[in-house]
Structure 1
């Protein structure tokens, strides 16, 4: 099977093909690219407009075609330019649930040559204020819940830089100089064209905040080039896996697939269900953007519910489901899974956390005409670094797949020495290529620390096998992945230490069957002080998003274990409190 995979890879990347790879200099770094790639995301949107009356967005019971969303994009883009002066190099923030307005806002901003600041919808008011103060957008487009959180912070933010509020799906009273979506976006009156824009491939198109080890989130600068190449990498990895299986079938190594139903349309566009938030690369870059280019439909939910997701799969004939692993597991375990028609699913899986091998097998056996899939990636790589699917995945269920064509990959030891891959060789996975971010906004030190000579240090410990398949074995970063959300322990510890009764705190992850990991903590209080979990949780709720607050806190009288350098030894703490020794 892997010989067929290699052969298909060589054919698809051969000189003259659509996925041929070449190397250019980007910001002084040798960079792998697809020469055939469109120059920027506006070109992707232009392609999408050819899909006209096809269904584009389904949000619960609302439906919109490409033409309808296109009119909204033109209306908003012209308003942002004419009224607020938004253009190349500017920023506009988006803070809302996965409403259709998120998608309209994103494409309008991208087509102006500005950068969309995707704000974490879980953030509290102070966390929103930090992101807005750091990115300084001209406009914040936000739904009712996010408007409520930001209004108390507005005067302080405006003391530093002007900020216009545009509310979405909200009847809340607003400051006089604010606006409402319905008063601004008028598709029936939309200009026939988008405003002119001068866009360079290396311009920022998105700022996504990723939690930082210093206690503050970092704004990752995603570029037009990186976003376009991520789309093409996703398409390539899908095609190469399919081509490899076709070769295996032709060689008699795999049975021929079941024939499609007589009424099936082989040219029917894909239908994606996107259960994860659009302020992450998973939903925005790896689902919305490829779906848009392919002329597919994308289905959004008000909030995650496994039963509702199964219902939508049946109703909308969803072909691709991609979420965090716990979502797939919850659907397969749901009582409605066997009662609903999910035969339209061709791919099920996702990323955000490792998919356990048993789940790979469950997905493979549960889909009538589909296959399991996974991807490994980071905000800092615009999306996927690797992908694995179908028979390749069931053959190597512990692997996240091979590295995409526009990335070089290598392993480094703690001293920065490059390691030769081998069956027992592990090191930090480092990657270089078109999809590595430009850097972190306003954080040159953090950029220099993470990206050295163009090589992005993922913080993940991996091994690479003889077929070039990557296996993530550990994380170097002090981080918990809770239901696909990255929680950096130092950020939570910093908030805990703000409580006057706390003397010492250590935050780490506890395995959880549903979420992958839960955030937990050990706390030592100051002499004479008392504190319980409810009090600490209430204190943290004013400082942290809910998913970052420890679900369990152990309060101790004795100091936390330390090493010779005085650092807390979390491994010993885990062994003691979780019995993981």
Structure 2
């Protein structure tokens, strides 16, 4: 694979001169941990449904990752090849990524919720040579799905099945005791592992283009963020990090995996969410930090209150993805006795703004934090002119953690000659530099921190024989922040209802989390004189209905 990481070179000299790019890779940090505390527990991996757990020291994790690297090399994977991974949070995912980096293989995490519709595009666009899936996860047979896609994926050579028992299983292909981990493999690793400016992660994000965008990151773009983030939050080697947000998102991947390795801190991974288990883990394992979206904070607070567990070790719950309601912050801090901190970021940048632990509690209610060191913010009017404090406008960011570009789509990089990236968000900034995200200039719905690709779902619904016109917009939801509502104008003499819409999208193998959860049938949709649908009018209608219900 040839990676067109065009956003790296124009800023490399400045980032290095100012010390904003650490110049260290995951393997550099991992080897620090091996030297400093080889027998300390690095990772606890828990299967929520069964309670099964596995504890691994740094030394044990190193041995497993070398075995994985040997297995990948035997399969023919090497530097700049792409490996796609659909595993949930697990020790296998961690060992797999470390093994990939030992060979210079680029890691492409994909969400377990994705089905053929999303995966066929991502794996083909990313030219994935191997695809690692669970045999079963939440009752779904991922192996059968993966095998069914192979005829449409000419670059895909191997499907590797975690939890499988055949010759294509994770154990047989990547953990085979017969694999030779010797001087030859270590020499290949020394040659091919690459440096901190090589693309090491390819991660897809939903947006407004009608197709997912392949975000390229390097060790420098990710670790420049993590160094500043950990410093802002006063995190260190003595912390224990609990992560239940999926590691196929940057929240789980960067802050539940890469950051603990950087800190030489212990990580605890849950493969799926269970509020009562999370509360017990915080108590029993003395968890001090976690990060997730608002629904998780609501659930955890209730679990601690109902189960009478002891959350006293938890210092920080960082909440990102949507505004945190004031009453929730007050209740959570009272019951959890932890600091609830707000933040804002994107797949393209990691966390950009973060409230400091020393800040008053209302900062996390009223703002989304201020810029981390190495990042700059600018609010602009529609003509591109900077706006003053308190004025709403388009949010642009630039700095050390900005991504390396969109794979094969540099025309979408949205970064100008001065390095400013158009986030697509509307925000305002106060005189102290704290921002508040007010909305989006681009057509995206964020449901429980999961971006719904509106344009893509609308395009699929236009294929339904009964649909003449469709518009999908967000409506408020107390738990998830937003949900999706489809407004549909049927063709004359045709009809469609919610079950029919759901069945149609299911037949197209779209991820269920992307389905609109509400359907409104209309004779016509509000539009401009040129025929453009006025989505703001539909959103305002739903918001007014929501506000009326709350009274």
Would you say the 8 A contact 2:204–2:212 is kept in 1?
yes
2:181 to 168, 191, 216: 191
Residue in 1 that maps onto 2:107: 116
Q: Deviation digits for residues 199-255 of structure 1, max 9, x if unmatched?
A: 13321110110013122111100112101212211122123xx9xxxxxxxxxxxxx
> How far does residue 186 in structure 1 lie from its aligned partner after superposition?
4.3
Would you say the 8 A contact 1:480–1:509 is kept in 2?
yes
> How far does residue 179 in structure 1 lie from its aligned partner after superposition?
5.0
Q: Partner of 1:360: helix, strand, or coil?
A: helix
How many residue pairs end up in the alignment?
Answer: 518
Would you say the 8 A contact 1:505–1:521 is kept in 2?
yes
Q: Deviation digits for residues 137-193 of structure 1, max 9, x if unmatched?
A: 2211221143222211111213xx24211111123x67xxx4533442147967367
- Structure 1 residue 84 and structure 2 residue 76: aligned? yes
1:490 to 455, 463, 468: 455
2:126 to 135, 155, 165: 135
Residue in 1 that maps onto 2:40: 54
Q: Which runs of 5+ in 2 are unaligned?
A: 1-6, 47-52, 136-140
Q: Partner of 2:278: helix, strand, or coil?
A: helix
1:163 to 124, 149, 157: 157
Would you say the 8 A contact 1:372–1:389 is kept in 2?
no
Residue in 2 that maps onto 1:209: 204
- Structure 1 residue 545 and structure 2 residue 511: aligned? yes
- Structure 1 residue 519 and structure 2 residue 504: aligned? no
Q: Partner of 1:334: helix, strand, or coil?
A: helix
Distance 2:110 2:408 in 1: 17
Distance 2:367 2:31 in 1: 36
- Structure 1 residue 283 and structure 2 residue 283: aligned? no
2:339 to 371, 374, 381: 371
Would you say the 8 A contact 1:271–1:319 is kept in 2?
yes
Q: Bigger shift: 181-190 or 495-504?
A: 181-190
Q: Partner of 1:138: helix, strand, or coil?
A: strand
Q: Partner of 1:341: helix, strand, or coil?
A: coil
> How far does residue 366 in structure 1 lie from its aligned partner after superposition?
2.4
- Structure 1 residue 438 and structure 2 residue 407: aligned? no
Q: Residues 26, 36 of structure 1: CA spacing in aligned structure 2 closer, same or farther, 3 A cutoff? A: closer
- Structure 1 residue 153 and structure 2 residue 140: aligned? no
Distance 1:36 1:495 in 2: 42
Q: Deviation digits for residues 291-346 of structure 1, max 9, x if unmatched?
A: 11222222222321211211221222211121111111112123655511111111
1:359 to 328, 332, 353: 328
Distance 1:179 1:340 in 2: 39
TM-score by length of 2: 0.88
Q: Partner of 1:372: helix, strand, or coil?
A: strand
Residue in 1 that maps onto 2:379: 411
Residue in 2 that maps onto 1:508: 473
Q: Partner of 2:142: helix, strand, or coil?
A: helix
1:334 to 285, 296, 303: 303
TM-score by length of 1: 0.84
Would you say the 8 A contact 2:304–2:335 is kept in 1?
no
Distance 1:520 1:52 in 2: 52
Task: Give the root-mean-square deviation of aligned CA atoms.
Answer: 2.3
Q: Residues 536, 320 of structure 1: CA spacing in aligned structure 2 closer, same or farther, 3 A cutoff? A: same
Q: Which runs of 5+ in 1 are unaligned?
A: 1-24, 243-266
Would you say the 8 A contact 2:41–2:55 is kept in 1?
yes
Residue in 2 that maps onto 1:319: 288
Distance 1:37 1:268 in 2: 18
Q: Residues 268, 28 of structure 1: CA spacing in aligned structure 2 closer, same or farther, 3 A cutoff? A: closer
Distance 2:108 2:294 in 1: 27
Distance 1:132 1:401 in 2: 36
Distance 1:337 1:59 in 2: 25
Distance 1:390 1:97 in 2: 30
Would you say the 8 A contact 2:68–2:174 is kept in 1?
yes
Q: Partner of 2:85: helix, strand, or coil?
A: strand
Residue in 1 that maps onto 2:4: none
Residue in 1 that maps onto 2:96: 105
Distance 2:217 2:532 in 1: 34
Q: Residues 91, 416 of structure 1: CA spacing in aligned structure 2 closer, same or farther, 3 A cutoff? A: same
Distance 2:355 2:112 in 1: 30
> How far does residue 577 in structure 1 lie from its aligned partner after superposition?
4.5
Residue in 1 that maps onto 2:361: 394
- Structure 1 residue 236 and structure 2 residue 231: aligned? yes
> How far does residue 566 in structure 1 lie from its aligned partner after superposition?
1.5
Would you say the 8 A contact 2:341–2:354 is kept in 1?
yes
Residue in 1 that maps onto 2:62: 70
Q: Residues 539, 68 of structure 1: CA spacing in aligned structure 2 closer, same or farther, 3 A cutoff? A: same
Would you say the 8 A contact 1:331–1:337 is kept in 2?
no
Residue in 1 that maps onto 2:352: 385
Q: Residues 391, 28 of structure 1: CA spacing in aligned structure 2 closer, same or farther, 3 A cutoff? A: closer
> How far does residue 282 in structure 1 lie from its aligned partner after superposition?
0.6
Q: Partner of 2:359: helix, strand, or coil?
A: helix
Residue in 1 that maps onto 2:220: 225
Q: Residues 109, 312 of structure 1: CA spacing in aligned structure 2 closer, same or farther, 3 A cutoff? A: same
Q: Residues 202, 36 of structure 1: CA spacing in aligned structure 2 closer, same or farther, 3 A cutoff? A: closer
